[in-house]
Amino acid sequence: MNPNTLLSADGDLAGKHIVLGLTGGIACYKSAELCRLLIKQGATVQVVMTEAAAQFITTTTMQALSGRPVYGSQWDAREPNTMPHINLSREADAILIAPCSADFMARLVQGRSDELLSLLCLARPIATAPLLIAPAMNREMWVHPATQRNMAQLAEDGATLLGVGNGPQACGEIGDGRMLEPAEMVEDLIAFFRPKSLAGQRLLVTAGPTYEAIDPVRGITNLSSGKMGFAIARAAREAGADVTLVAGPVALATPRGVNRIDVKSAQNMLAAVVQHAQAATLFVATAAVADWRPAQAAEQKIKKDGSGATPQLQFVENTDILATVAQSARALSGALYCVGFAAESQDLLANAQAKRARKGVPLLVGNIGPATFGKDENALLLVDALSATELPHASKLSLARQLVAEIAKRLHTSP
């Protein structure tokens, strides 16, 4: 089956045509999965390989995955005008070189054009065909001054460098220089194309539950998965914000480009939020924070004694994180815009309106907790001083992007 018949009409890269360039390196094996994921997100992919790349992966493999003939020669007779470097670069919404070897980066810096891939990079219309580079090389090659110098020059010339991973390398050494994983590169490419409505903003977002210890093995928590907060962190990063994510105990991968701080209890979360709110311009309190905690956690496990007696627990109220930040000098002066979340079980509108007024925030986002905890979809209700707006049931990432756009609109129209 032609992979292009599997294109997702609503994928994040729907309608985008990507030229995927492969240069010589063992990381070419990742390019096969990268091609598949790009197509799964709705993109069409045209593969162009250097002669060295063909030593590591076959054109047959990449043609089967992309559903298109693979190009490797500037003299390719399949092009009626014998100008594949012009035709391929003019059709591209972006050119992604993955893997990009140290040698190929040097070729780009020098403007060399004696084979097809570097030639089409040189011939590309810079304004409409951006160049993204995913380096892949040995750790010593990566830190070499020549490589670092070439990367700086490529960035100055307008290329976007996606960075590298750290870990075991094919040569047996361990360190920086591995090509990013395919899913990471796809996330970066999606972010590259998203509108930068929060450029210059510094977002602080909380996510997930908190855990309040009863004894060393038991505690009080809730069903929040953290997925909504993590989606907001990703959407804000896509929109150009500098994002810090304070996460309760959840098993979720950190979104690309997001600074994550792991905490456990409500008190831990409060301390982290108060510290990082000093530099933030936007605070979104998505976490489901425990309202109470045991007044004193037992030092040892509380055991049954067979009498049927139950332990007597005393509780104290946790400090309200959202209200604390919303009443801070920076928030009251307008330097910090605060958004709250309300997870309710009934009477969503009334409870959300009351909570917004009580917390003193300009915008509160309500949802029905039992209907969304742990799931990948949600429905939101945006409540401000004047109105309530429904965001219908959709994926949490889709809702996060809508919420980010709404916040950006409010930031840009506020006095």
Domain total for the chain? 2
CB 336 within 8 A of CB 280: yes
Would you place residue 414 in the very low, low, confident or very high pLDDT band (cuts 50, 70, 90)?
low
Structure token digits, residue 126: 């810079």
Instruction: Tell which of 193, 213, 238 closes a domain.
Output: 193
Specify the pLDDT at position 187: 96
Residues 97 and 226 in one domain: no
Residues 189 and 255 in one domain: no
pLDDT in tens, 62-75: 999 999 999 999 88
Determine whether 76 is exposed, middle or buried from the number of CB atoms within 10 Å of its CB (0-12, 13-18, 19+). middle
Instruction: Tell which of 141, 167, 193 closes a domain.
Output: 193
For the chain, give the number of residues: 415
pLDDT at 331 over 80: yes
Q: Is 269 helix (H, G, I), strand (E, B) or coil?
A: helix
Torsion of CA 374, 192, 261, 397, to 10 degrees: -20
pLDDT at 127 over 90: yes
Q: What are phi and psi of 292, to 5 degrees?
A: -130, 160
Residue positions forming the annotated binding site for CTP? 291, 301, 341, 355, 359
Spacing of C-alpha 246 from chain mean position: 15
Q: Which domain holds residue 78?
A: 3-193
pLDDT in tens, 333-344: 999 999 999 888
Closest by CA position to 52, among listed 119, 121, 110, 100: 100
Which residue in the list 28, 100, 121, 171 is annotated as catalytic? Answer: 171
pLDDT at 8 over 60: no
pLDDT in tens, 358-401: 999 999 999 877 778 888 898 999 999 888 999 999 999 999 99
Residues 408 and 275 in one domain: yes
Q: Is 42 helix (H, G, I), strand (E, B) or coil?
A: coil
pLDDT in tens, 15-67: 999 999 999 999 999 999 999 999 999 999 999 999 999 999 999 999 999 99
Read off the amino acid at residue 354: A
Residues 31 and 102 in one domain: yes
Residue 28 designated active-site: no
Specify the pLDDT at position 1: 41
Q: Which CATH number fits the domain that encloses residue 393?
A: 3.40.50.10300
